[in-house]
Each structure stands twice: as structure tokens, then as C-alpha cells.
Amino acid sequence: MDSCNCIEPQWPPDDLLMKYQYISDFFIALAYFSIPLELIYFVKKSAVFPYRWVLVQFGAFIVLCGATHLINLWTFTMHTRTVAMVMTTAKVFTAVVSCATALMLVHIIPDLLSVKTRELFLKNKAAELDREMGLIRTQEETGRHVRMLTHEIRSTLDRHTILKTTLVELGRTLALEECALWMPTRTGLELQLSYTLRQQNPVGYTVPIHLPVINQVFSSSHAVKISPNCPVARIRPAGKYMPGEVVAVRVPLLHLSNFQINDWPELSTKRYALMVLMLPSDSARQWHVHELELVEVVADQVAVALSHAAILEESMRARDLLMEQNVALDLARREAETAIRARNDFLAVMNHEMRTPMHAIIALSSLLQETELTPEQRLMVETILKSSNLLSTLINDVLDLSRLEDGSLQLDLGTFNLFAVFREVLNLIKPIASVKKLHVSLNLAPDLPEYAIGDEKRLMQTILNVVGNAVKFSKEGSISITAIVAKSELLRDSRTPEFFPVPSDNHFYLRVQVKDSGVGISPQDIPKLFTKFAQTQSTATRNSGGSGLGLAICKRFVNLMEGHIWIESDGLGKGCTAIFMVKLGIPERLNEPKLPFMPKVPTNHGPTAFPGLKVLVMDENGVSRMVTKGLLVHLGCDVTMVSSSEECLHVVSHEHKVVFMDVCVPGMDGYEVAIRINEKFTKRHERPIIVALTGNTDKVTKENCMRVGMDGVILKPVSLDKMRSVLTELLEHRVLFEAI
């Protein structure tokens, strides 16, 4: 026996059990060594494993366990103490590590478990999302289909194309077997099959509109499932197959009048079309909600598109109509213009042609009047004259009126004496009035300006016409003429609301009223008065002559003068009042102040005397001085005589209204005197009127006189009449340059 430190195993090594244990230990050790290798290999492969540290621990534990079993193999036979030592060390290490690992696992296993649950949760979520995505996708596809359909429908404005396209696209999108559109007939009592998808030309099937199923569809804005057996759905020959599901939806037919501003069109029309959609037979397809929604949306779009098409049709028709009318109007205008031109040419020619013989007739008749005639002959000649005068007036009137209507007549504006116009009218009318024993009175308002700017001739014509009418239509009584300046309260006459006169600084409105007590006018005739060629039919006026143009012309003149004319009458037999207002300009105040010596109502020849008019006469020649003085004294003036320029300048004052000076004597500078007088009197109205008396007949003298500011030049010798008219002229107009 060796005294080796061997340990004998418990049991003999040749025992069978021992052999099996030996083999098992060997395999265990093998497995225990290979497991960590595998672990390391796979962990190295996956980079994400989070518990490396645990793995290392585990690996160590396993390796040590394997080592333990491996060393155990040697303990089956006799083995030295060293082996036993190693074995023990290994076991101790293994124990430590496995305990550590066990402790570690206590921390780790719950974490691992929760990872697992989270994984499950996420998987569920993913499945759910998938489902939703599927839904959204379906919806989006529907939307796309709608958009596409809408685009197709709205890409045309033709009604037929719209409807056809709708059916086609719907059929395609929803894979329909048949799609049909029923439109209400004109009577509104039936629905007629208008369009289908498969059949090209639908024969006119009609269905009464008041079927319950149709009412059901029309009363709801949703697509409604209907039975495949109802009349609207039975358009295909019944096959041997199971018909697919049918859905119907209403399509509102909108009119232009439905579109209120800022309002969605109200569906109060109650006119609907019916769209019927059929799924293919023998398919197990059902109508899905999103498909129904699609159908409803499309139906609305179709309604809108149809209404647009209707509007377009309407506007096209209106535009065509307008164009036609424009063309017609253009033609009419051109024709009218041609007609007017032709008429004007005619008038112009006829005017001249007519006037020439008229002139001859009138002239020769008046000459004839002057000769020796028997009373009968005189009567005849007078009648001829009167008639030709009438005719001449008529010709003038017609020509005037046509010019007035063209608007080619223009007023001849000028400054004129307003009072003189009225006096003239009065003078002209007095003879006739006195023959008819009518009393004529003229009333001029005190604030009426004496001078005005306007068309004197035509104003006189107007006044004369109005007054003449008053005289013509009055058999007895009186005629009163009143002229005032229209104040603003009176300007807005209640009877003429459309007339808005606006007075200004440069203008005033003259209001003339002519009242007569004659036959009057009945109210229904008043509007016709100013119509040309229209005459009232009462017998009294039938023989009064006149062409009926007078008032029409007056109205035109008054309108040209921016005024208004009207006639009021209380009825037949109650007289009538003619009133007109015209706009006249106010001239510059050159003619003021009015001389207090001027008689208020001068006759046609002007004043015969100028009582008290202070006059200064400057003349070196005693004789002519005396003669001039004699002239002026005879006319009633208060004459001061001077014989030299110094004396003249000394004596002249603002009291002298006129200064007569002789300028043709050489050596005495009359011009100088004029200049000095001009300087002396700065205000124009204070300065006396300076008149040169000269025997010189050359233009130089006249120009010199005008240059130095003289107001007039007269040639010597001066007769009485000449002096009288000179003074009148000077005092009226402050200027007189005799033609030299």
C-alpha cells in the first residue's frame, strides 16, 4: 500500500450503476460546456440582448457546473487528494455562483415577463390599426370616386352629357349592373325613363309618379333600398338569376329662382328625378354604407350641374336675343338718321324755295297796297297780304320747330333791355286788344332788372305767342301780364315737381304770368297743348287760325332757356293762366346808376327832353359853342360853357353828366383834357360821359378819341334830332362812336 493521499471511492468502480453514472456525468459535462457556447454564439449574433451581465453570470454558473461534473469523472476510480481538492474547489465556486445567479434571477424574471405582456398588447393594437386603416382607405377611395365623378359631371355644361356621364361613371365605380334615370314629364304626373346605362335608346317607359315607393324615395334625402320588383327597377328583362339589390335616390331639379342670395337653394320645387341603381344579379354583394353615401353625394352634384346647365342655356338664349335686338335697333337708328337727314335736306331746300316766292308775293302785295286801288281791290290785296304773312310765319315756324327738335338751334345770347321787350309786346298787342275791347295790363316787379342776358328775339317771340294766345282766345274781359323775379320759395312749384331751378349770382329766373278771362281750357286738353299740330276741338277755336305750332315752339324755346312753361285753367269758360319761367343772365353793372332824370316809360323814340341834365361844353369857337349850347338848351339841358382846357378841368365836376368837347381845333389838346378828366374821376360811374365833337372825317381822330378814353365821337354839324338821339344813346349805353 502506497501511502498516497488517495481517496477511495465509496463504491467499486466496476459496478454497473457506476458505469452509468460515469457516462451520464460525461454527457452532462459536455452539455454544460456546450450550452454557454451556444448562448455566446447566439448572443453574439443578436446585438440587442439587454441582459449581458446576467448571461455571463449564467454562463459562469453553467461552466462551473459542467466543470464539477467533469471532475467528478475522476472520482470514480482511485484519485489523489489533489483531485479531491480541485473537485471541492470547483463545487464551492459553483455553489457561490449559482446562489448569486438565483438571487439575480429574482430581479430579472418579472421584467422579462412584463416584456412579454407588452408585446402582446402591441400586437393587438397593430391589428386594430390595420382594421381602421382599411376603413379609411375605403372611405378615401369613395371620396376619390366622388371627386372623379363630380369632375366628369361638371366638366360639361350640356345636360345630356352630364346625365350620361353620371350613369357611366357610377356604373363603373360601383360595378353596377344597371343604372337608370327617370325624369318627370311635363305634366308632372309621370316619370319617364330618360337614360340608362346599358340600353342606348330607352323606349319611353313611363311610371305614374304617385306610387308609394316613389313617394318614399322622394321624401327622403338619403338613398333608399327598394325592392327589385317595383316598376322602376324592372327595366331589364327578368332573367333566371337572382336580381341584385336595388337602391333609388332622388335628384332635385333646381330652377334659377331657387337660388336666393346667401341661401342654399330651398328644395321647394318638389320636382325630382329618380335615379335607380342595381347591383349585379347573382352576386352576394350588398350595398355598403359608404356606397350609399357616394350615391347621395353624386345625386346632389348632378342636381347642381343640371341647374348650372339650365342657367347657361338661359343666359345664352338671352344673349342671342339681345344681339338680335341690338342689330334691329342699330338698323332702326340708321334708318331714323337717314330719315332725319333727308328731312333736313328737304326742309333746307324747301325753305329757300318757299321763301323766295313768298318774299316776292309779300313785297309786291305791299307795293300794290301803296298804289291806287278800288275798295274791293284793296280788300283783296289786304287779304292776299294777310294770308301770305300767315304762310310766311308758318314756314318759319315749321323750319324753326324742326331745327329745335334736332337740337341744332342755339340761342343768340346778348344783353338786351328786358323792359323794352315787354313794352314792344304790349305795343304790338294793343291794337288787336283794343279792337276786341280787351284791357291789357302790364306789371313789372320793382326788383326786375332792366337789362338781362339772353336771346331777346326768341324771348319776345315766346311772350308774344303766349300773350297772343291770351288775346286770341278771349272775347272780352282783360288780360294781365305779370313779370317777376322768381324767388326760391316760388321756384319749386308744386305743379312742376320735375323742374328744379337753381338761381345763382349770375343768373335769375324770370317768371311771366299771363292771365286771361277767355274761353278757358278743359283739364283733359291741357297736356295736349304743347304737342305740335294738336288743336283743341272746340268750335270757338276752330276758326282762329294758327297751325298749332306756336305753343310747341314756345315750349322748346323755354326749354332751351332752361326753364319751364305750363298752363293752368279752371275749366271751360273760366279763363286760363299761362306761366313760364326762364333763366336769364345778369349783365355787369355798367348801366347803373340810372339817371334820375330819365322818364320811367320812354316812348319808342326815346326821350324828347333831358330836363336838368347837366352838360359841359368846351369849344374855343364862340359861334359853334353858342350853337351847341342852343341845341342842348332846347333839349332842356343845363349847359355850362367853357372855352379853354384849363377852364374845363377847373369847372368839371361829378355833377356834369356829359362833356362835349371840340377836339379838332389845332393847338388845343382836347385829348389831354380827356385824359385828365379820366384821372380826376377814378370811379367810372362818377365820371361824366366825354364826347368829342369834330369836323374831321378821318379815322385817326376817331382812334385817338377812343385811345384817350372818350366815350363818343360825333361829327359836326349836329342837328337837333341828331343831338337828341345822341344823348339818348349815350345815356342808355354810355358809348357812341358814330360811323365815320
Q: Which residues are annotated as a binding site?
A: 65, 69, 469-472, 516, 532, 547, 551
Q: Which lies closer to other proteins via its Cβ, residue 139 or residue 697?
A: 697
Distance CA 715, CA 694 (A): 5
Q: How far is the CB of 586 from other proteins (least distance, A)?
A: 41
How many of the chain's residues bind other proteins (CB under 8 A)? 21
Residue 545 interacting with other proteins (CB under 8 A): no
Residue 415 makes CB contacts below 8 A (sequence gap 6+) with 451, 452, 453, 587
Distance CA 659, CA 657 (A): 7
Q: Which lies closer to other proteins via its Cβ, residue 515 or residue 625?
A: 625
Residue 626 interacting with other proteins (CB under 8 A): yes
Residue 624 interacting with other proteins (CB under 8 A): yes
Q: Which helix (H) or strand (E) holds 331?
A: helix 289-370
Residue 645 interacting with other proteins (CB under 8 A): no
Q: How far is the CB of 618 from other proteins (least distance, A)?
A: 13
The cell 345770347 sits on which residue? 413
Q: How far is the CB of 535 from other proteins (least distance, A)?
A: 55
Q: Which lies closer to other proteins via its Cβ, residue 621 or residue 678?
A: 621
**What residues form the annotated binding site for ADP?**
469-472, 516, 532, 547, 551
Residue 633 interacting with other proteins (CB under 8 A): yes
Distance CA 184, CA 252 (A): 11
Residue 621 interacting with other proteins (CB under 8 A): yes
Q: Which lies closer to other proteins via its Cβ, residue 358 or residue 627?
A: 627
CA atoms within 13 A on the CB side of 225: 9
Residue 720 interacting with other proteins (CB under 8 A): yes
Q: How far is the CB of 704 from other proteins (least distance, A)?
A: 17
Distance CA 675, CA 692 (A): 13
Give the x-and-dash track for 569-608 against other proteins (CB under 8 A): ----------------------------------------
Cα 565 to chain centroid distance, Å, stands at 34
Give the x-and-dash track for 651-680 against other proteins (CB under 8 A): -----------x-xxxx-------------
Q: How far is the CB of 736 from other proteins (least distance, A)?
A: 19
705 burial via Cβ count (<10 Å: 0-12, 13-18, 19+): buried
Between the CA atoms of 83, 84, 88 and 90, what dihedral angle is there, to the nearest 10 degrees? 20
Among 439, 622, 654, 686, binds other proteins (CB under 8 A): 622
3-state secondary structure of 567: strand
Distance CA 645, CA 656 (A): 16
Give the x-and-dash track for 693-712 against other proteins (CB under 8 A): --x-----------------
Cβ atoms 279, 177 nearer than 8 A: yes
Q: DSSP character for 480?
A: E
Residue 611 interacting with other proteins (CB under 8 A): no
Q: How far is the CB of 732 from other proteins (least distance, A)?
A: 24
Between the CA atoms of 278, 280, 285 and 289, what dihedral angle is there, to the nearest 10 degrees? -30
Instruction: List Cα–Cα distances, 661 to 242, 511, 615, 740, in angstroms.
Output: 135, 45, 11, 18
Among 107, 489, 719, 739, binds other proteins (CB under 8 A): 719
The span of 248-256, 262-270, 278-286, 624-632 binding other proteins (CB under 8 A) equals 624-632
Q: Please report, as residue ranges, which positions from 497 to 526 form the binding site for other proteins (by CB under 8 A).
A: none
Q: How far is the CB of 606 from other proteins (least distance, A)?
A: 18
The cell 327597377 sits on which residue? 233
Q: Which lies closer to other proteins via its Cβ, residue 124 or residue 719?
A: 719
Distance CA 540, CA 527 (A): 19
Q: How far is the CB of 614 from other proteins (least distance, A)?
A: 18
Q: Which lies closer to other proteins via its Cβ, residue 381 or residue 663?
A: 663
Among 623, 682, 699, 739, binds other proteins (CB under 8 A): 623
Cα 353 to chain centroid distance, Å, stands at 50
Cβ atoms 617, 629 nearer than 8 A: yes
Q: Which lies closer to other proteins via its Cβ, residue 425 or residue 715?
A: 715
**What residues form the annotated binding site for Cu cation?**
65, 69
Instruction: List Cα–Cα distances, 386 to 361, 368, 389, 430, 463, in angstroms.
Output: 11, 13, 5, 18, 22
Grid cell, residue 615, equals 352838360
Cβ atoms 672, 640 nearer than 8 A: no
**β-bridge pairing 178-184 and 272-278:** antiparallel
**β-bridge pairing 576-585 and 507-516:** antiparallel
Residue 682 interacting with other proteins (CB under 8 A): no
Q: Which helix (H) or strand (E) holds 558?
A: helix 550-560
Grid cell, residue 409, equals 338751334
Among 716, 725, 737, 738, binds other proteins (CB under 8 A): 716
Q: How far is the CB of 694 from other proteins (least distance, A)?
A: 10
Q: Which lies closer to other proteins via its Cβ, residue 299 or residue 631?
A: 631
Q: How far is the CB of 728 from other proteins (least distance, A)?
A: 18
The span of 284-292, 511-519, 626-634, 670-678 binding other proteins (CB under 8 A) equals 626-634
Distance CA 200, CA 212 (A): 29
Q: How far is the CB of 656 from other proteins (least distance, A)?
A: 21
Q: Which lies closer to other proteins via its Cβ, residue 525 or residue 738?
A: 738
Instruction: With CA atoms as reference, report the closest residue to 465 among 554, 340, 353, 350.
Output: 554
Q: How far is the CB of 632 from other proteins (least distance, A)?
A: 10
Residue 717 interacting with other proteins (CB under 8 A): yes
Residue 631 interacting with other proteins (CB under 8 A): yes
Give the x-and-dash track for 407-436 against other proteins (CB under 8 A): ------------------------------
**β-bridge pairing 689-694 and 712-715:** parallel
Kindly write down the DSSP assignment for every residue of 577-610, as one continuous string: EEEEEEEEEPPPTTS-SPPTTS-SS--TT--S--
Q: How far is the CB of 619 from other proteins (least distance, A)?
A: 8
The span of 175-183, 198-206, 340-348, 621-629 binding other proteins (CB under 8 A) equals 621-629
**β-bridge pairing 438-444 and 414-417:** unpaired
Binding site for other proteins (CB under 8 A): 620-624, 626-627, 630-631, 633-634, 662, 664-667, 695, 716-717, 719-720
